[in-house]
Structure 1
Amino acid sequence: MTVRVGILGATGAVGQRLIQLLDPHPDFEIAALTASEASAGSSYREAAKWRIDAPIPEDVADITVGATEPDAVPDDVSLIFSSLPSGVGAEVEPDFCEAGYVVSSNSSNGRMDEDVPLIIPEVNADHVGLLEVQRDERGWDGALLKNPNCSTITMVPPLAALDRAFDLTDVRVSTLQAVSGAGYSGVTSMEIIDNAIPHIGGEEQKMETESRKLLGDFDGAEVRLNDADVAASCNRIPTLDGHLENVWADTAEDVTAAEAADAMADVSGVDLPSSPERLIRVFEEPDRPQPRLDRNVDGGMGVAVGGFRETTDGVQFNCLAHNTMRGAAGASVLNGELLAQRGYL
């Protein structure tokens, strides 16, 4: 059965990626697009400054863009994908949930709310059960589910493999993040060319808190945060796509570099259309992964790791994921597939 879906914030960078992924999707059909008041009433072709390196899908180009409000979305739409700025998302996403829509959101607002599931399906799909608590507490017919920040989603799958096998205690990470993570207007060329910016507002806190929620345990009523201590330093560099991260992970159990690599290589995908067969691609070369070479691993939905070495209390490794595919639009689509599979639509 085909599920009719809508996209909030459809003209932005992540919204365009959502269209790229959803138009050919085997189970989803794009039925509604929303954007700002300035774009409402125009065709998507007119409203969107299309920047994807493929043509706008013809069946999407002529859809009339609506205002970002529940009344602008047809009643037969079962699933909403949100790529709104967090301030806008905080205001309007609850309105859609109250109106009965199920929302799979990439926006950062509400990710750490106690009754909002924060999900990477290959890591913590069982947390989706938190939606029952959410509906009871908020009285919603709809529901709100979040995917994590693009930098968080890069390091958590490898960390989850280590935690299951060797029990994480401390994590330190330094990121080298692509400019697309800031959106098309987020970093000017004069700022980033021949430069690196050693600060991304709010990013460190997101990595430090979201990772512990993703790695936490759901007991049927609440998520208990993982006990590991996480500290992050986030940096913007002049690559287009692909967040590269240097991670130091301490573990309670002794672990060698080879054992850490094997634990990550064993992480399989899940039975959802957008999940790769193997979530983590392990490189033996010491200079991999690299953004230009490896960001599109498994269609941009995989996580690449390499550069393993042993430390005093654990291991150091490098990891990479495509920040607007696996880290944003693809993550939301995957969560939408999980919602459909688990019967929440």
Structure 2
Amino acid sequence: MGKLGVAILGATGMVGQIYVQMLSRHPWFEIRAVTGNTSVGKTLAEAYRGRGHVPEKYAELEVLPSDPSRIDADLVFSCLPTKAAREVEPRFAEAGFPVVSDSSAHRYQPDVPLIIPEVNPEHLGLIETQRRQRRWDGFIVTTPNCTTVGFALPLKPLVDRYGVRYVNLVTMQSVSGAGFNGVSSMAIMSNIIPYIEGEEAKVADEPRKIMGTLQDGEVRPLDIVIDATCTRVPTLVGHLEVVQAELNREATVEEVAETLGGFIGLPQQLELPTAPRRPINVVQEEDRPQPRLDTDAGSIPGMTVTVGRIRRGRRPNTVIFVSLSNNLVRGAAGSAILTGELLHVTGWLR
């Protein structure tokens, strides 16, 4: 059986390069088309010059405009900027393409699945609602904000076992989360910026949809309150997050560590190619996780969320921990590719 052909919309940006690298060795997917904006007409190697490495097998791919009539693919991955994604992705879905997007453009629309494959694979059922309401042959599935993934994934087993009513979150987000041109060097070097526009609302709202209940063709959000403070720090890759969660019942540190470390989801059960054997890695060292040491932990580099410093808070039923995720892999391209694999094995790709 041959590989499925995929296209990458926005392949010349920072996250697009991660897609190309990961897909260059993928057992199921083969890149057939890449699109860009200012680099249209160039080869991928020319578009990447001075900004990254392109695998030799894709060096001569021509960068195309993001036009469905120019694309031949079984599956489309989109890492377009939000404004472009809002306009372009529906055109591809209307033209019959399955689209997996890591843009925020369509995440909050009620008929669009917002997926972390280990957390809510059943939400792919929204595709039927989306197709029926929009009369599309294709569809759009989204993946969360890069920061959301880093704490929503470890939050899931705690919600399932203990219930969680409140979360207070402080993030330390690397500069790569803002893209090549997102933060000037003069602004971030030897500095911390205690604000990221729009970020706190995303990480407060997205987990409620992700961990909500799919019923009668719609998602009923999880009843949880999340307060977030999001900061930009001068690290290159890896979002570090301090999570304080108020549980519905008491749990010891040992029980929480066991719950997190033992968690697996449907991708692990199905042994999907991009699924790490353990999606959550619990470390015992007092000074871990660290971006320099743990960002690429796990059997699939960059796909495991590392959790450490698990301890009880002073308020009743409160647990505190630090999580670290690779914002370019688990927080972007890797999650989308894993979602594509899940779509394939569950029969959504024709």
Answer whether TM exceeds 0.5 for this pair. Answer: yes
What is the distance in 2 between the residues matched to 1:42 and 1:28? 23
Of the candidates 341, 345, 349, which is equivalent to residue 337 of structure 1? 341
Instruction: Please name the residue that 1:57 is paired with.
Output: 55
Instruction: Please name the residue that 1:31 is paired with.
Output: 32
- 2:260 maps to a residue whose letter is M
- 1:199 maps to a residue whose letter is Y
Q: CA deviation at 1:266?
A: 1.0
Q: CA deviation at 1:49?
A: 3.7
- 2:247 maps to a residue whose letter is T
CA contact (8 A) 1:97 1:142 kept: yes
How much identity, in percent, do the aligned residues show? 46
Q: CA deviation at 1:174?
A: 0.1
Q: CA deviation at 1:257?
A: 1.6
Deviations 1:42-97 (A, max 9, x none): 11111224644xx41112110111101111212xx110000000010000000000
CA contact (8 A) 1:135 1:141 kept: yes
Instruction: Please name the residue that 2:115 is paired with.
Output: 119
Instruction: Please name the residue that 1:21 is paired with.
Output: 22
SS at match of 2:119: helix
What is the distance in 2 between the residues matched to 1:283 and 1:51? 34
- Alignment CA distance shift 1:289-1:50 (3 Å): same
Instruction: Please name the residue that 2:190 is paired with.
Output: 194
CA contact (8 A) 1:16 1:50 kept: no
SS at match of 2:128: helix
Instruction: Please name the residue that 2:325 is paired with.
Output: 321
1:305 paired to 2:310 = no
Q: CA deviation at 1:300?
A: 0.5
1:233 paired to 2:237 = no
Instruction: Please name the residue that 2:98 is paired with.
Output: 102
CA contact (8 A) 2:154 2:280 kept: yes
Instruction: Please name the residue that 1:88 is paired with.
Output: 84
CA contact (8 A) 1:256 1:314 kept: no
Instruction: Please name the residue that 2:279 is paired with.
Output: 279
CA contact (8 A) 1:14 1:329 kept: yes
What is the distance in 1 between the residues matched to 2:107 and 2:289? 29
1:213 paired to 2:209 = yes
- Alignment CA distance shift 1:113-1:166 (3 Å): same
SS at match of 1:123: coil
What is the distance in 1 between the residues matched to 2:83 and 2:170? 27
Number of residue pairs the alignment of both structures matches: 340
What is the distance in 1 between the residues matched to 2:32 and 2:201? 36
Instruction: Please name the residue that 2:199 is paired with.
Output: 203
What is the distance in 1 between the residues matched to 2:157 and 2:246? 13
Deviations 1:282-337 (A, max 9, x none): 01112110111000012000000010111223200000000001100101111111
Which 4+ residue blocks in structure 1 deviate beyond 6 angstroms?
none
Instruction: Please name the residue that 1:47 is paired with.
Output: 47
1:258 paired to 2:254 = yes
What is the distance in 2 between the residues matched to 1:11 and 1:215? 32
Deviations 1:111-160 (A, max 9, x none): 01100000011111111111011101110100100000000000011110
Q: CA deviation at 1:21?
A: 0.5
